[in-house]
Amino acid sequence: MQKRALSVFLLLLSSLIFAQPTTQWAKCFGGKGVDIGKTILQTDDGGYLIAGSSNSLDGDIAHLHDSLGVNYDIVLLKTDANGQLQWQKCIGGTQDDMASAMIKTFDGGYAIGGYSWSKDGDNIGNVNYYSADYWLVKIDSMGSIQWQKTFGGYLDDKMYGLAQTRDSGFIMIGTTYSHDGDVSGYHAKTDIWVVKIDTSRTIQWERCYGGSGDEFSGSIVQAQDGGYVFAGYTNSSDSDVVGLHTDYLGENTYDYWVVNLDTLGNIKWSKCFGGDQHDYASQVIKTKDDGYAVIGYSDFGVTLAGYLSYNDYWLIKLDTSGAVQWQKSYGGSNFDEANCIIQTNDNGYLVSGTSLSNDHEVNGNHGRYDYWVVKADGSGNFEWQESFGGSRNDFPYSVIQTIDNGYAISGITYSYDGQIAGYHDSCTYDLSLSDSICTPDIWVIKLNPYEWRGNAMDTIKLSVYIYPNPFDIESTLKFRLDSIPTNSSLHIYNAIGQELKSVSINNKSNTMKIFREALPKGFYICKLEHEGVILAAGKFVVE
């Protein structure tokens, strides 16, 4: 009986597909200066924390350290679940301070990674007067600074990626031009610089990676074995870099560069991925099977889309040894450049970036560059896409899946129309450019949870909304039907396919309540049936 129930459960799962989620809300934050939303996290109260940089002196931005509004501060914006601003803080000094990454820490606070030229204000300890240093700032849940520290040499060192390690320390990654101070082993031009610190902020080890060309990386994760994997791009063909691809003239191109380190920073394996054009990796994530997914963009020399284009999104899935399991490209005939990726709760992938296309796999472009979101299944197969923005340029930098199974995306917008409302700047028209000059706002969009729908044998055609989800004492099911047919039934399955509950429904309302009763914590599937036909299905969580 359990085996049969499991088969029913698996059949149900395989038959369900997702519709494109709609926008729940969208907000502009900033002032009349430049406002950049680099990263977003969901907070324990269901709201959001956005970290970025700003040089605005008005609007949503207050207490900028540079009273002239020339140089940037790191800016924090805390909203409620509906995107309403609750508080805002500026962190920095009188020079430029830029945020690149933010993570939630084990103690319930946050760590912000970026780089700073300041030597005053909140930045105490930066002794490099003419260059940027890595800057790591630890804050509590209310944005108050608990500690901060800079790392670097005499030239520019810019942190772009950050992770907390299992020992409660931190690992930082970015680029360096330095060959002194904290930096050792510099190769040439721009190197990737990785720094591991302990809980007392002491450097345990640091190392430069690269060759005689240029290297960049803004993403690092801890591997299952305690080591690390970073992804970026390179055009070197020597020193740490092996296997770089060349163009038809034999000239070096840029390749994805994925490197596996041991716990002390020694290279275990190093792989170049690409073709005879340029390929730029933006982010690596560790997947649920302990492998890795790497996202970025590729020129048409490697695209599999079957048509001539400029840049396409390019997603590669690697196993633990760095071997390619599969790879996919997504895009249109113009520029499509992916910035970030998450693995979704259904084991698929959501990719966010920017697109200038409006053909092939891209549609709905609002004008110029849009936020372009692509949903793929666990094998990288295209499921759906959506463009968000206005008639000017819109660039996303960070995406998360929210506790209600929706998504939140942060970035910047130069638009004041289309889907953009509340833009802070007043653009000025430049006759010499025949165009308006605008400054960007932080733009955050929240997408509704997926609508469950499917087409197993063309029978599943409708959706069910479940709220609250996760369950409270009771939750409401609202079906996308005018009414529920008489003699319908609602069935609830647990995660191993056992049917736990079956309820006959004889009323005609499209809304009903179900109670958690003795349901243990876990993941559940419900489906509405009438005379053997599945009318709707949904998933919910009991916490």
- Cβ neighbors of 436 (< 8 A, separation 6 or more) are 427, 428, 429, 430
pTM value is 0.81
Distance (Å, whole) CA 447 – CA 21: 6
The domain 2-9+453-542 belongs to what CATH superfamily? Immunoglobulins (2.60.40.10)
Distance (Å, whole) CA 212 – CA 195: 21
The secondary element (H helix, E strand) that includes residue 534 is strand 533-542
The angle subtended at Cα 411 by Cα 143 and Cα 146, nearest 5°, is: 15
Distance (Å, whole) CA 440 – CA 442: 7
What integer pLDDT is reported at residue 2 of this predicted model?
43
- Cβ neighbors of 263 (< 8 A, separation 6 or more) are 226, 227
Q: What would the two tokens of residue 30 be?
A: 């900033």
- Cβ neighbors of 212 (< 8 A, separation 6 or more) are 187, 188, 189, 236, 238, 239
- Cβ neighbors of 528 (< 8 A, separation 6 or more) are 464, 479, 484, 488, 489, 490, 505, 534, 535, 536, 537
Distance (Å, whole) CA 3 – CA 5: 5
The whole-number mean pLDDT for each consecutive block of 10 residues of the chain, a chain of 543 residues, reads 39 42 91 97 94 97 95 97 96 97 96 96 79 97 96 96 98 97 96 98 98 97 97 98 93 97 98 95 97 93 52 97 97 95 93 95 94 95 93 96 91 94 84 82 89 34 66 76 78 78 78 76 80 75 78
Instruction: Please report, to the nearest 10 degrees, the dihedral formed by the alpha carbons of residues 208, 218, 403, 139 taken in order.
Output: 70
- CA contacts within 13 A on the Cβ side of 354: 19
Distance (Å, whole) CA 373 – CA 18: 14
Q: Taking phi first (over 0 means left), then psi (-120 to 50 degrees means alpha), and beta for anything else, what does residue 347 get? A: left
Phi and psi torsions of 200, nearest 5°? -95, 10
What integer pLDDT is reported at residue 323 of this predicted model?
98
Check if the beta carbon of residue 50 is closer than 8 Å to that of residue 76: yes
- Cβ neighbors of 516 (< 8 A, separation 6 or more) are 471, 472, 473, 474, 475, 542
Domain residue ranges of the chain, discontinuous segments joined by +: 2-9+453-542, 36-53+60-151
Check if the beta carbon of residue 421 is closer than 8 Å to that of residue 26: yes
Q: Give the amino acid at 238.
A: D
Distance (Å, whole) CA 114 – CA 61: 19
What integer pLDDT is reported at residue 462 of this predicted model?
44
Distance (Å, whole) CA 140 – CA 52: 17
The secondary element (H helix, E strand) that includes residue 317 is strand 312-318
Own/partner contacts of 113-116, CB < 8 Å, gap of 24 or more, are 113/137, 113/159, 113/160, 113/161, 113/162, 113/172, 114/53, 114/74, 114/158, 114/159, 115/156, 115/157, 115/158, 115/159, 115/174, 116/92, 116/150
**How big is the chain by its Cα radius of gyration, in Å?**
25
What integer pLDDT is reported at residue 129 of this predicted model?
63
What integer pLDDT is reported at residue 309 of this predicted model?
60
Q: Give the amino acid at 373.
A: V
Q: How many residues does the chain have?
A: 543
The secondary element (H helix, E strand) that includes residue 88 is strand 85-91
Q: What would the two tokens of residue 228 be?
A: 């690390």
DSSP annotation of 3 reads H
Distance (Å, whole) CA 365 – CA 328: 22
